[in-house]
Amino acid sequence: MTNKVIDAKNIRKTFGKSLAIDDISFSIAEGQIFVFLGPSGSGKTTTINILTRQLRADSGQARIFNQDSRKLSSRELAKIGLVSDTSGFYEK
Full-model pTM? 0.81
**For residue 3, what are the CA distances in angstroms to 28, 32, 35, 47, 66?**
9, 10, 18, 21, 9
pLDDT band at 88 (very low <50, low <70, confident <90, very high): low
Quick: pLDDT tens for 32-87. Answer: 888 888 898 899 989 999 998 889 999 999 999 889 998 988 888 888 777 776 66
What per-residue confidence (pLDDT) applies to 91?
A: 61
